[in-house]
Amino acid sequence: MRICMRVILPFTVGAICVLGTIRAATPLQSDQMQPRLWPAPAHQAGFRQANVEALVDGLLANMTLEEKVGQMIQADIASITPAQQRQYKLGSILAGGGAAPGNDVRTTPKAWLDLTDAFFSASLETGNAAHRAIPIIFGIDAVHGNAKVIGATIFPHNVGLGAMHDAALMRRIGAATAEEVAAIGVDWTFAPTVAVVRDPRWGRSYESYSESPDLVAQYAAAMVGGLQGTPGDADFMGPGRTLASVKHFLGDGGTLGGRDQGEDQAAEAVLAHVHAAGYPAAIEAGALIVMASYNSWRGTKLHSSHYLLTDILKGRMGFDGFVVGDWNAHEQIPGCTKFDCPAAYLAGIDMLMAPDSWQALYDNTLREARANVIPAARIDDAVRRILRVKALAGIFERLPPQRRPDADKLDGLGGAAHRAIARQAVRESLVLLKNEAGRLPLSPRSRVLVVGQGADDIGMQSGGWTIDWQGDHNSNEDFPGATSIFAGIKAIVAAAGGTAVLSADGSFDARPDAAIVVYGESPYAEFEGDRETLEYSPGDKRDLKLLRRLHALGIPVISIFLSGRAMWVNPEINASDAFVAAWLPGSEGEGIADVLFRAADGSIAHDFTGRLGVSWPRTPMPAKFLDVEEQARDPLFARGYGLDYAHTASAARVAHLDEQTHVPVDRNAPETLYRAAHVTAPWSIYLADAGLGAGAEVRLTTARQDSPLRGLLVSQDTNGVTGRWNGAAPSVFRIAGRMRDYRSPADASTAIEFRYRIEQAPTAPVLIGVRCVPPYYRHIADAPGSGMATLNAWKCGTEHGALLDLTTTLQSAPLNAWRTYSYSLACLAARGADLSTVEAPFAIATSGQLALTISEVRLIRHEGPPRCGGG
Ligand code: BGC
Ligand code: BGC
């Protein structure tokens, strides 16, 4: 395999391609491993208890092999019923990012409680003459509060919590989260994430507390303690407490280029002391569950790493709890499918997360257990660990959720005490990066103009993992009890006799004393958030224009920047008088106004106490993000930086910053987007059909090769990618990943060339072309049922889209013969397309039937007349 990275050296830009660095086939040899580099065994308070081990022994002695295998599997509520749960006696049920009772993510807390009660009650019926019933543990991603549930308190995402540097508050956040999780009868949260982020282009950067291993370790312990209570104390896993799981083991924050689920090539010492920093601390604080990671380390997927899971985690670190797999992550192990993967169990995973694949996995695992492919000792060890955790956590004593003492605490979900904690966390997480001429704090008696896409959008201020997986389809009505940033400002200003006016486009009638502009990243989760550069909003500079317009009018501009990571915002900082990194603050937006405004009596109500937990980049593409010594190379603002009102009046000046991106693109070199089963980073294959709903699409990954589309099935082999359109729904195949402005004169000769082979001729028109990022894409409503719904929304400013008709070309192409086709961007521009925000240079769509294989897609220079169609 070949990977390429763009590198920026002082005078040159080039690509380094490393051959053979991703070595799926050549893992490190065991004699190259150094277990002694790793932290010595953590002191595991209360892990071994005689009564618990006796209970587990008794169960193990009397369970059938079927029952044991059942414990080792976790299914998602979207794919299992309580009756099936009772029949298969699975060890656990989860509600994944997009799953909800009745498939309605906006359902009531009561519906959640009914659902968890139904599954738990079913598990209480699994007892028999040989042994008592073994209750399930139900898991959910309460990663910033129990944010899947309508009305919950949503805390700042971890990147913001890192800036607080307040472990005591972390513990209270953990306790509050646990209560809100318990309120719906859930016993387990997939948190905390203890990733130590290295390259913030990673889409999960916001789930990492900090780039500092020490801070991550401190927080890991605080969060686990808050969620579960302290081992040995009477309230350990008592009512309102929830099992933690520490994730993702190991090296998730250190993948090359920040690619989610990618390859970590850290030296073993770095893995042990940087990436693993949170584990000993969390285990010592009583963590009983560790989740394995999607990524690989030096060519070996973590889910198949016996060395890291068994020798290090369970051996060297002495972890006696259980290891759960991640969402079908086992299918990425060579030789495995999501339905069948003895290798993961053999490596040391005790329970596989098999959301939709659980049933076949059960059958296959049972067969492999019978055939001794998975030895009995390994099965017994896995089940012992799972039962031990259930016993230590008191799950055997828990009543069905509806009858628990915490059931009547339902109004604890989103309760005032929890919201007060979240509001405090918002205040403490804000980092003041610039405060020219002491513009802040503002007087609450001023006339403030509140502007920007994020000003009154609770979904945007909450980010991913909110109500659903991506968190990008939420509106303010979905957050009862929550406060937008504007609403918070308005409340404080109105109470003091000032005025706060919301203005979407920045226009105003009466000249304001100050403009508060709230803008930043739109929500994303996991790999959907991977980026190629740290430049904020490349290609779409509307926010910057707005800042500059207000600035030019002499109005003090206060930037409130919402983001899941530190980003390159030099031009935005230059155009602002004050600049606040607000991260993803969650449901309590008034925490921002608390710090921006003076108290009514003129005193400072709350000063800025937040300090960066991650370094802030000086360029969009730092050549290297962090070295082993944890020093970011030449950051704009180092970790620990942050201004406040009390001390830093003079330092508050930030000299004019360099606005050059320093990422010149060599527009002469052909660029390969796809070649024979390999998409080149940052490109990805996306599929969408009308049945998926407006704007929704699926990214093909190694993890997800199947598609939930009705109209388009894809498969890949060494020839390339084959799309089979069946006519059931209009469907689009596209390659996207880097938004770029293609209007420069140099791009006049850019063409897209692809090599293809027709296997079935089209039965309806086929369109080919490029797609653009539409303005504020979340607000675009595709006309339901309209033929090319998702394609039409991305028309690049033209009525019919930046598309060419490929139908006759494909109809006249001989079957099963390779051909090449190319189209020039100049033809699309000539037809009126606005190519300033192209994010998919290659898109092909039809509503009829068609089968074709694509072996290669490239951006090339095409001299001569533009190619606008034809063969
Ligand atoms: C994520 C985990 C998450 C799990 C369940 C996975 O895709 O990597 O962090 O806990 O899904 O939703
Ligand atoms: C699920 C998430 C999961 C993700 C992984 C989504 O469909 O809802 O829970 O983390 O897939 O790819």
Contacts of 730 (CB under 8 A, 6+ apart): 689, 690, 711, 787, 788, 789, 791, 845, 846, 847
Pocket residue to mutate for ligand 1, from 76, 140, 141, 193, most atoms within 8 A of Cβ: 141
pLDDT of residue 531: 85
State the CB neighbour count (10 A cutoff) for residue 763: 15
Identity at 588, one-letter amino acid code = E
pLDDT of residue 10: 26
701 CA closest ligand 2 atom index: 12
Give start and end residues of each alpha helix (H) in 312-357. 342-347
Digit-coded pLDDT (tens) for 349-371: 999 999 999 999 999 999 999 99
How buried is residue 277: exposed, middle or buried, by Cβ count under 10 Å (0-12/13-18/19+)?
A: buried
> Residue 827, CB half-sphere, CA atoms under 13 Å: how many?
19
Q: Is the peptide bond before 192 cis (omega within 30 degrees of 0)?
A: yes
List, for residues 754-813, the tens digit of each pLDDT value: 999 999 999 999 989 888 765 433 223 333 333 333 444 457 777 666 788 899 999 999
User: Does 70 score more than 80 pLDDT?
Assistant: yes
Q: How many CA atoms does the CB half-sphere of 43 hold within 13 Å?
A: 2
What's the pLDDT score for residue 652? Answer: 54
DSSP output for 631-681: -BSS-SB-TT--B-TTT-TTTT--PPPP--------TTS-EEEEETTEEPT
**Residues 502-533, buried b or exposed e (16+ Cβ, 10 A)?**
beeebebeeebbbbbbbbbbbbbbbbbbbbbb
Taking phi first (over 0 means left), then psi (-120 to 50 degrees means alpha), and beta for anything else, what does residue 77 get?
Answer: alpha
313 CA to centre of ligand 2 in angstroms? 25
Of 207, 326, 528, best ligand 1 pocket probe by most atoms within 8 Å of the beta carbon: 326
**pLDDT value at 153 more than 70:** yes
pLDDT of residue 26: 46
Cα(653) to centroid(ligand 2), Å:
44
**Quick one: CA dihedral 351, 355, 358, 360, positive or negative?**
negative
Closest C-alpha residue for ligand 1 atom 10:
190
- Listing DSSP states for 846-860 in one string gives ESSEEEEEEEEEEEE
3-state helix vs strand vs coil in the chain, percent to 5:
30, 20, 45
Query: Of all atoms in ligand 2, which is nearest to the CA of residue 704?
Result: 12
Angle, alpha carbons 645-646-648 (nearest 5°): 75
Output the pLDDT for position 25.
Answer: 35
**The one catalytic residue among 67, 180, 211, 326:** 326
Asked if residue 238 has pLDDT above 60, the reply is yes
What's the gap in Å between 353 CA and the centre of ligand 2?
11
- The position carrying tokens 């049920």 is 93
Side by side, the strands of the sheet bearing 322-324 are 246-249, 289-292, 322-324
| DSSP string covering 27-42 | PPPGGG--GGGSPPPP
The mean pLDDT of 476-497, rounded to a whole number, is 97
Report how far residue 447's alpha carbon sits from residue 435's, in angstroms, rounded to the nearest whole number: 19
The 10s digit of each residue's pLDDT in 596-633 is: 999 999 999 999 999 999 999 988 876 555 654 455 66
- Residue nearest to ligand 2 atom 1, measured at CA: 97
Indicate the pTM of the whole model. Answer: 0.78
Rounded CA separation 698/700 (Å): 6
Ligand 2 residue neighbourhood (C-beta within 6 Å): 96-98, 327, 469
Q: Which of 103, 291, 327, 331 is the pocket-test mutation for ligand 2 (most atoms within 8 Å of CB)?
A: 327
Decide if pLDDT at 567 tops 90: yes
Neighbours of 36 (CB within 10 A): 8
Which residues have C-beta atoms less than 6 Å from ligand 1?
Answer: 96-97, 141, 190, 247, 326-327, 526
User: Which residue's alpha carbon is at the smallest distance from atom 6 of ligand 2?
Assistant: 97
pLDDT at 7: 28
In 3D, which of 144, 152, 68 has the Cα closest to residue 105?
152
pLDDT tens-digit map of 527-559: 889 888 899 998 789 999 999 999 999 999 999
pLDDT of res. 755? 92
Which residue's CA is minimally distant from atom 5 of ligand 1?
A: 96
Mean pLDDT, the chain, rounded, equals: 87
Distance of CA 629 from the midpoint of ligand 2 (Å): 34
* Residues 257-281: tens digit of each pLDDT: 888 999 998 889 889 999 999 999 9
HSE (side-chain half, CA atoms, 13 Å) at 520? 31
Q: What does DSSP say about strands 246-249 and 289-292: parallel, antiparallel, or unpaired?
A: parallel
Identify whether the C-beta of residue 202 lies closer than 8 Å to the C-beta of residue 259: yes
327 alpha carbon to ligand 1 midpoint, in Å?
6
What confidence score (pLDDT) does residue 42 get? Answer: 66
User: CA angle at residue 720 from 714 to 723, to 5 degrees?
Assistant: 25
Hey, whose CA ends up nearest to atom 8 of ligand 2? 97
Find the helix or strand (DSSP H, E) in which 113 lies: helix 109-123
131/129 Cα distance (integer angstroms): 6
- Which atom of ligand 1 approaches the CA of 469 most closely? 12
Using the atom order of ligand 1, give the atom closest to the CA of residue 245.
10
Please give the Cα distance from 126 to 121 (Å, whole number): 9
For 43, counting Cβ atoms within 10 Å of its Cβ (0-12 exposed, 13-18 middle, 19+ buried), the class is exposed
Q: Residue 296: beta bridge partners? A: 263, 301
Ligand number, closest to the Cα atom of 701: 2
> Which residues have CB under 8 Å from 536's CB, separation 6+?
520, 521, 543, 561, 563, 567, 568, 569, 572
Q: Ligand 1, residues 181, 190, 301, 469: which to mutate, most atoms within 8 A of Cβ?
A: 190
Protein residue closest via CA to atom 7 of ligand 1:
327
> Looking at the CA of 327, which ligand is closest?
1
The C-alpha atoms of residue 632 and residue 654 are separated, in whole angstroms, by: 20
Considering every ligand atom, which ligand is closest to the CA of 249?
Answer: 1
pLDDT confidence bin for 732, thresholds 50/70/90: confident
Q: How confident is the model at residue 245 (pLDDT cuts 50, 70, 90)?
A: very high
**Ligand nearest to the CA of residue 325, numbered in listed order:** 1
Q: Encode 329-341: b = buried (16+ Cβ within 10 Å), e = exposed.
A: bbbbbeebebbbb
Residue 96 CA, ligand 2 centroid: distance in Å:
6
330 CA to centre of ligand 1 in angstroms: 13
Locate the ligand 1 atom nearest the alpha carbon of residue 97 and give its number: 12
Q: 526, 590, 747, 753: which one is catalytic? A: 526
Cα–Cα distance, 92 to 12 (Å, whole number) = 54
Residue 665 pLDDT > 60, yes or no? no
Cβ atoms within 10 Å of 35's Cβ, excluding its own: 14
Ligand nearest the Cα atom of residue 98 = 2
CA dist., res. 94 & res. 96, Å (int)? 6
CB 183 within 8 A of CB 239: no
Ligand 2 pocket, mutate which of 467, 524, 526 (most atoms under 8 A from CB): 526
Of 641, 638, 632, 634, which is closest to residue 662 (Cα–Cα)? Answer: 634
Q: What is the pLDDT of residue 574?
A: 97
Distance CA 720, CA 427 (A): 51
Ligand index nearest the alpha carbon of residue 97: 2
User: Residue 30's pLDDT band (boundaries 50, 70, 90)?
Assistant: low
690 has a pLDDT exceeding 80: no
Minimum CA distance residue for ligand 1 atom 6 = 327
With residue 753 as reference, give the H or E element that holds it. strand 750-760
What distance in angstroms lies between residue 232's CA and the mean position of ligand 2's atoms?
35
Peptide bond into 37 cis (omega under 30): no
Asked which of 221-225, 474-478, 612-616, 821-825 is least confident by mean pLDDT, the reply is: 821-825
CA torsion, ordered 504, 510, 516, 517, to nearest 10 deg: 30
Mean pLDDT of 180-203: 96
Of 30-34, 421-425, 430-434, the one with minimum mean pLDDT is 30-34
Q: Does residue 326 have an active-site annotation?
A: yes
% of the chain residues with pLDDT over 70: 87
What is the pLDDT at residue 716? 81
**Mean pLDDT, residues 490-519 taken together:** 96
Q: Is 526 a catalytic residue?
A: yes
**Which of 76, 77, 97, 78 is closest to 465 using CA atoms?**
97
CA 293 to ligand 1: nearest atom = 8
Give residue 457 CA to ligand 1 midpoint distance, Å: 25
* Per-residue pLDDT reduced to its tens digit, 707-725: 667 888 888 887 889 999 9
- From CA 84, how far away is CA 191, in angstroms rounded? 27
- Cα–Cα distance measured from residue 116 to residue 96, given in angstroms and rounded to the nearest whole number: 14
The protein residue with its alpha carbon nearest to ligand 2, atom 11, reads: 97
* pLDDT at position 678: 77
- pLDDT at 735 > cutoff 50: yes
Distance 509 CA to ligand 1 centre (A): 48
Distance between CA atoms of residues 836 and 159, nearest Å: 32
Cite the beta strand spans of 251-347 per DSSP E: 263-264, 289-292, 296-297, 300-301, 322-324
CA dihedral 188, 189, 194, 197 (to 10 degrees): 150
Length of the chain: 871
Q: Distance from the CA of 522 to the center of ligand 1, in angstroms?
A: 20
Is residue 20 scored above 60 in pLDDT?
no
Beta bridge partners, 352, equal 73
Q: In 3D, which of 644, 594, 167, 219 has the Cα closest to residue 423?
A: 594
Strand partners, 520: 562
Residue 617 has phi, psi (to 5 degrees) of -75, 145
